[in-house]
Amino acid sequence: MFGLPSAALWILVDADTGVAFPQFLEVQDHIWGYGLMFSGLFIAYSIWKYGWNRYRVWQDENDITGFSFRDYLDNGVSSFRDDFINTGDNDWWIGKWWDYIMYLGFPIMFGVLILSYFSDLILNVSNPWDPTNADGITIILLFWGITAGLFISMNKYILVNRVLSMNGTIWPPSWDLEPRPLYRNVPVGAEVSIDTLPGGEDPFIIEVGESLPETFVNEYGETQTHTLHAQS
């Protein structure tokens, strides 16, 4: 679906044969050539955030205030590696080098590649900011923006919340949102509290076997009864 606009808009004609064809693959390769870099950035961000959360938990447990870079290195940076990779039931044991790659190597590599990519477009492409230029910058930002908007909308209206019809109709003004419950299976003996995981403070992200909260506060600040509470 994302490729339909480019497939319909950029039609090239072969000068030798006169055959018209869509510049579909070229445009999509141009737009998403560095898309996987952003996928890696989101994964790295989750690892960084988890390490920071674990460091803050360590501070609370030891009644420590302020920020210490040394303490952060000792009690935050390696947390994801220790809690999810080097768990004892895996064949591989990842060393400290992994932390350097995730916290130092990846940000440097990401910055160098993205800056070099866009610098090359600005210096070597004619009219790089023209949105109709299949080799420009604007078309990249446009498609990335559309995709980000779709993902953010899906996250809010499909993954995090359930869309409910208040009066049985499908007319959007009658819709309302209620939190979509997510059940986590926490392994027996796991030392990591579920609250330290991303989203762990959300009352509707719960461990298997627990009951849902009976009520929730909607976007308008009103308290409502959760429709799935009686089924939990």
- The DSSP secondary-structure symbol of 172 reads G
- Report the C-alpha dihedral over residues 15, 21, 23, 26, rounded to 10 degrees: -80
What is d(CA 129, CA 25) in angstroms, rounded to the nearest whole number?
A: 21
> Is 145 in the same domain as 196?
no
Is the pLDDT score of 193 beyond 90?
no
User: Tokens 């019809």 map to which residue?
Assistant: 165
Which residues, 6+ apart, have CB-to-CB distance to 184 below 8 Å? Answer: 194, 197, 205, 206, 207, 208
The whole domain housing 153 covers 4-158
> Is 166 in the same domain as 151?
no
> Is 118 in the same domain as 166?
no
> Is 124 in the same domain as 184?
no
> Is 25 in the same domain as 111?
yes
> Is 121 in the same domain as 176?
no
- Going by pLDDT thresholds of 50, 70 and 90, the confidence category of residue 200 is low
> Is 134 in the same domain as 202?
no
Is the pLDDT score of 160 beyond 80?
yes
pLDDT at 44: 92
For the record, the structure tokens of 181 come out as 């419950």
Distant-in-sequence contacts of 172-180, Cβ < 8 A, 24+ apart:
176/218, 176/224, 177/218, 177/219, 178/216, 178/218, 178/224, 178/226, 178/227, 179/203, 179/204, 179/216, 179/226, 180/204
> Is 27 in the same domain as 58?
yes
- Going by pLDDT thresholds of 50, 70 and 90, the confidence category of residue 222 is confident
Is the pLDDT score of 155 beyond 70?
yes
Last residue of a domain, one of 131, 158, 185: 158
Last residue of a domain, one of 109, 127, 158: 158
pLDDT at 119: 92
Given a contact cutoff of 8 angstroms between Cβ atoms, the answer to whether 129 and 137 are in contact is yes
What is d(CA 71, CA 128) in angstroms, rounded to the nearest whole number?
A: 46
Given a contact cutoff of 8 angstroms between Cβ atoms, the answer to whether 6 and 15 are in contact is no
Average confidence score pLDDT of the chain:
81
pLDDT at 29: 80
> Is 149 in the same domain as 186?
no
- Going by pLDDT thresholds of 50, 70 and 90, the confidence category of residue 99 is very high
- Report the C-alpha dihedral over residues 57, 62, 66, 67, rounded to 10 degrees: -60
**Number of domains, the chain:** 2
pLDDT at 83: 81
Residue scoring higher pLDDT (166 or 75): 75
Is the pLDDT score of 107 beyond 90?
yes
Tell me the per-residue pLDDT of 28-71, one tens digit each, with 9 for 90 and over: 788 888 778 888 888 899 899 989 988 998 898 899 889 998 89
Given a contact cutoff of 8 angstroms between Cβ atoms, the answer to whether 214 and 220 are in contact is no
Residue 163's DSSP bridge partners are: 177
> Is 149 in the same domain as 172?
no
> Is 105 in the same domain as 52?
yes
Last residue of a domain, one of 141, 158, 175: 158
- Going by pLDDT thresholds of 50, 70 and 90, the confidence category of residue 210 is confident
pLDDT at 167: 57
> Is 150 in the same domain as 116?
yes
Is the pLDDT score of 3 beyond 70?
no
Which residues, 6+ apart, have CB-to-CB distance to 39 below 8 Å? Answer: none
